[in-house]
Amino acid sequence: MTTTTDAAPNTRSFEADVSRLLHLMVHSVYSDKDVFLRELVSNAADACEKLRYEAIASPALLGDDPQPRITVTLDPDQRRLTIEDNGIGMSAAEMAEALGTIARSGTRAFMEQIAAGEKAEGSQLIGQFGVGFYSAFIVADRVDVTSRRAGGDEAALWSSDGLGTYTLGAVEASEVPVRGTRVVLHLKEDAADYSQRFSVEAKIKAQSGHVPVPIFLREKPDAEPQQIADGAALWTRARADISEEDYTDFYRTNAGQFDTPALTVHYRAEGTHEYNVLAFVPETRPFDLFDPDRAGRMKLYVRRVFITDEAQILPRYLRFVRGLVDSQDLPLNVSREMIQESPVLASIQKGVTNRLLSELNKLARTEPDRFRQVWEHFGAVLKEGLYEDYGRRETLLKLARFRTSNSGTEWRSLQDYVAGLKENQTAIYYAVGADLDRLASSPQLEGFRARGIDVLLLTDQVDSFWASSGIDFEGKPFKSVTQGLSDLSLIPLNEGEAPAAETSDEVASFITFVKTTLGEAVSDVRASDRLTESAVCLVAPDSGMDRQLEKLLAGAGRLDQTSKPVLEINPRHDLVVRLSALDEAEAGLREDAAHLLLDEARVADGELPVDPRAFSARLSRILLRGIGGA
């Protein structure tokens, strides 16, 4: 039964357990203890930036102390850490609003205020969500905040143990500076290291060493402050003002490398989104370059404050690049530890990736020797993009360099390859394998060599995937020399090479016999126009998968069964001709020879005989016959 009532519903406020909420904020929002230092230094930098902005209209706010600074004071005896700034400061009412209300951000309110008018040029405000301050309770069991607003006469003290309540009251103005904010952390026992210089200095330099305010450190309350950060960031300076030594020192310090960068990319992007980029291509290959779990090494800053080194700024095939991106307008999530998926981030990813590839192309054109070294170290990784990044495939193909059957140990570009195409050649031919020397001497290349056709020799695992993905370059498709018919008959032979004679009836009959004898071990047996020196070779069926790719997939357990290969026989080879001449009385010899030809082709392809015992027995019978033993 359904009943109705005309009574209006009651409107009630949500209730919250503030102590529980603070506990969640401290232990769930942030996963890294050190983040509190970054947050408090960022807040201090914001306060200095607010003062600079307001002093444009009211210069008197600066008084006799115009230079912004942040001072960190350590007190290991009392287990205290103090972070102080000479920025805008707060009145008692502002402290109640900013510190007494979780998720009420003074920075956000300030941003909204200036957004109502013209955008403040150079405004560099970090906080957006008003919860960063509470990260102090990760390491402190009490936090005292003393502040006086610039231009004001009164000072106030806010204090809390982070368990749900706080106190706020006036304090003698003589106990605080003329302006600014002092945050005192009474550290927990397990956080005593944060009152030690060796711990605090390194963390501040790593996380906040580039904020636009100088940072000073006092080792003890009565010690002289020493500057540990100058408020300048290398990437914000003009490239013309930076020496190669400066770049190298920065690269080694921030990337943890000991070599010299092979390429430095430094620029500022302006327009819809503004950000600075400083990226380095190493001169040597990192030891973990091919680790499947290896992430990129690009750090993300927002207005010169370090945010994370786990942002996927570059695609995986550029994971060897070291450096940073400093965004002016990237939105952050509530903890700043993970960036939101946003159009801004997508725009940065696209812009930085395109610029890096453009700079690599420029290096290839202007300094080919240096680029060759880069390719030798990182070419195998860059080629992953040919398979993964369809939109930039053409750019990556122009970057790519290959060793070929005609170039020896030299690298060739695809532009060079296409420029040297033979008459009637309509494809870019390639061979895939694990060993360069074995590929270069592969029997499948013989017919190409007889016509002077260059073949790309591909020895990286990723080559099997991108080369067989239907890719082309300047309208020329890539075609494996071990797949399907070679289609070489239309391409003229080199001068001095004798044209192939017609396959005799005897040889044709022998090829049919071999096919019948081998049965299901192969999908076909046919005369070859790609062999000129060897007797046999294996190729994939016309519609089958490239043999090397098939081996990789089978080895990784991604194929239930492999296709049967095609055995190609050179009808002009002396061995084939003599075997074809054997009569019916030599049926046993012909049968052994058929199986041995298949095993010979397998061995030439880097495989083992499928049945080693049968192979050994057949070989023994052939040898005995040859020395008159049977």
Identify whether the C-beta of residue 363 lies closer than 8 Å to the C-beta of residue 399. Answer: no
* Cβ partners under 8 Å of residue 357, min gap 6: 392, 395, 396, 399
Identify whether the C-beta of residue 436 lies closer than 8 Å to the C-beta of residue 481. Answer: no
Q: What are phi and psi of 415, to 5 degrees?
A: -60, -40
* Cβ partners under 8 Å of residue 257, min gap 6: 251, 282, 284, 322
List for the chain the helix, strand, coil content (%; round to 5).
Answer: 40, 20, 40
SS3 assignment, position 565: coil
Identify whether the C-beta of residue 368 lies closer than 8 Å to the C-beta of residue 339. Answer: no
One-letter amino acid at 378 equals: F
* Tokens 């749900």, residue located: 164
Q: What are phi and psi of 295, to 5 degrees?
A: -95, 175
Rounded Cα gap, residues 49 and 44, in angstroms: 9
* Cβ partners under 8 Å of residue 395, min gap 6: 357, 358, 361
* Cβ partners under 8 Å of residue 11, min gap 6: none
Quote the strand ranges of 314-446, DSSP E. 322-327, 401-404, 412-413, 428-432
**In degrees, to the nearest 5, what angle opens at C-alpha 496 toward C-alphas 493 and 498?**
65
| 122 is an annotated ligand-binding site residue | no
| 276 is an annotated ligand-binding site residue | no
Rounded Cα gap, residues 462 and 473, in angstroms: 18
Identify whether the C-beta of residue 466 lies closer than 8 Å to the C-beta of residue 452. Answer: no
The two tokens of residue 190 are: 């397990």
| 133 is an annotated ligand-binding site residue | yes
CA 545: distance to chain centroid?
30
Identify whether the C-beta of residue 59 lies closer than 8 Å to the C-beta of residue 118. Answer: no
One DSSP character per residue, 6-58 reads -PPPPP------HHHHHHHIIIII-S-TTHHHHHHHHHHHHHHHHHHHHHHH-
Bridge partners of residue 537, in order along the sequence? 568
For helices 197-208 and 35-57, angle between their N-to-C axes, nearest 10 degrees: 60
| 85 is an annotated ligand-binding site residue | yes
| 106 is an annotated ligand-binding site residue | yes
| 298 is an annotated ligand-binding site residue | no
Rounded Cα gap, residues 159 and 530, in angstroms: 86
Rounded Cα gap, residues 214 and 229, in angstroms: 5
Bridge partners of residue 187, in order along the sequence? 140
| 39 is an annotated ligand-binding site residue | yes
Identify whether the C-beta of residue 490 lies closer than 8 Å to the C-beta of residue 566. Answer: no
* Cβ partners under 8 Å of residue 137, min gap 6: 22, 26, 143, 162
| 130 is an annotated ligand-binding site residue | yes
| 43 is an annotated ligand-binding site residue | yes
Q: What are phi and psi of 492, to 5 degrees?
A: -60, 150
Identify whether the C-beta of residue 421 lies closer than 8 Å to the C-beta of residue 351. Answer: no
Identify whether the C-beta of residue 184 lies closer than 8 Å to the C-beta of residue 73. Answer: no
Bridge partners of residue 146, in order along the sequence? 157, 182
| 90 is an annotated ligand-binding site residue | yes
SS3 assignment, position 170: strand
Q: What are phi and psi of 268, to 5 degrees?
A: -120, 125
* Tokens 């956000």, residue located: 108
Which residue ranges make up the annotated binding site?
A: 39, 43, 85, 90, 105-106, 128-133, 181, 336
Which residue ranges make up the annotated binding site for ATP?
A: 39, 43, 85, 90, 105-106, 128-133, 181, 336
